[in-house]
Amino acid sequence: MATPNKVKIVEVAPRDGLQNEKQFIPTEVKVELINRLSTAGFANIETTSFVSPKWVPQMADNAQVMAAIERRPGTIYSVLAPNMRGFDAALAAGADEVVIFGAASEAFSQANINCSIAESIARFEPVAEAVKAAGLRLRGSISCALGCPYQGDVEPAAVVEVARRYLELGCDEIDVADTIGVGTPRRVERVMKAVTEIVDPSRVAGHFHDTYGQSLANILASLQAGISIFHTSVAGLGGCPYAKGATGNVATEDVLYMLHGMGIKTGVDLDAVIDIGQWISGHLGRKSSSRAGNALAARKAA
Ligand code: HMG
Ligand code: MG
């Protein structure tokens, strides 16, 4: 299959990138991060999550963040909501897109959202209905699509089954997530092919954590399977609190460098993202984990 010549990048650093940080990050810093990402041209930014602050304390300032950001016309500001309480808060905060998040593995579903896969789908039903009634976009995330920290292997059929339920719920977009970064290109190709047998490829996203350094190869495999939406995190920030040892999402700078080098358009200003990556890493007191980001920043400074 020919690779797409245009890709949508969903920048997830404000949510997936920061949710695992132990030290509470001031709301102003989160807001500045989102504002700078908006200016860099992202079409979709995952802004925060409306989950229990006992489970994920870093996202406790969700409503304040949403109220303070400057919205760029044309950018979709997405938030996670696991239940009706989360949806009500997301609606009040003016989210453009609500993300329901389930898993292809029973053990991870229990660890992350404290219920079985079937129970999660039942919990998502009223949320999906309310999202649609409010005229918002609905996205469904499938964790552990390439492996589970508790269960090990996950078969593509299990991923397809959750995707099928998400389609029934009316999801506009479906995320195939490698929560712990264990996937390799042939496996990714297999799962993407299986999912795109029931979901149009234009509505499927790849969400790769880079724990094993496989993400760029997995994105290339996904592109070859017709996928044109990828989730990335500036400076490679992130990790899931309920997936031990999981590191950040693939770094935005690395993905932009690869895609632009391949002549694939993203609409995102890589130069601006390099500065954002260096700035937020400095704020967190560590070196950016983006290889391209660090190399390009060094070149700029020379
Ligand atoms: P629970 O304990 O089973 O449910 O949690 P509950 O209904 O009994 O609620 C427990 C407490 O949370 C109650 O408070 C509720 O009011 C409150 P208490 O009475 O004890 O004071 N509560 C809420 N508070 C604020 N907002 C809400 C909300 N709902 C309940 N929406 C629940 C179930 C799903 C709520 C919980 O397990 C939870 O919040 N989990 C969060 C999980 C999470 O955020 N994980 C990280 C994001 S997913 C991810 O990173 C993966 C992804 O990136 C893809 C990938 O890489 O795989 C998307
Ligand atoms: Mg994730």
Tens of pLDDT, residues 63-104:
999 999 999 999 999 999 999 999 999 999 999 999 999 999
DSSP structure class, residue 234: G
- Tell which atom from ligand 1 comes closest to the C-alpha of 81: 31
Q: Which residues line the pocket of ligand 1, CB cutoff 6 A?
A: 16, 19, 49-52, 54-56, 80, 82-83, 85-86, 101, 112-114, 141, 143, 177, 179, 207, 209, 240-242
Cα 300 to Cα 273: distance, rounded to the nearest angstrom: 13
Distance 224 CA to ligand 1 centre (A): 36
Cα 39 to Cα 76: distance, rounded to the nearest angstrom: 13
- 240 part of the active site: yes
Provide mean pLDDT across the span 272-277.
98
Whole-number pLDDT of residue 48 = 98
CATH code for the part of the protein at 8-301: 3.20.20.70
User: Residue 212 CB: number of other CB atoms within 10 A?
Assistant: 16
Whole-number pLDDT of residue 229 = 98
**Residue 244 pLDDT level (bands cut at 50, 70, 90):** confident
Full-model pTM: 0.97
pLDDT of 249-264, one tens digit each? 999 999 999 999 999 9
Distance 107 CA to ligand 1 centre (A): 16
Long-range Cβ contact pairs of 273-280 (< 8 A, separation 24 or more) = 273/37, 273/40, 273/234, 274/300, 276/33, 276/36, 276/37, 276/40, 276/234, 276/235, 277/234, 277/235, 277/251, 277/252, 277/253, 278/235, 279/36, 280/13, 280/29, 280/33, 280/234, 280/235, 280/237
Asked whether residue 243 carries a pLDDT value surpassing 80, the answer given is no
Q: Which two tokens stand for residue 109?
A: 């579903």
Q: How many CA atoms lie within 13 A of 223 on its CB side?
A: 22
Beta bridge partners of 140: 100, 174
Cα 47 to Cα 52: distance, rounded to the nearest angstrom: 16
Whole-number pLDDT of residue 240 = 64
Distance 85 CA to ligand 1 centre (A): 10
Asked whether residue 241 carries a pLDDT value surpassing 70, the answer given is no
Whole-number percent of the chain with pLDDT over 90: 94
User: Residue 125 CB: number of other CB atoms within 10 A?
Assistant: 13
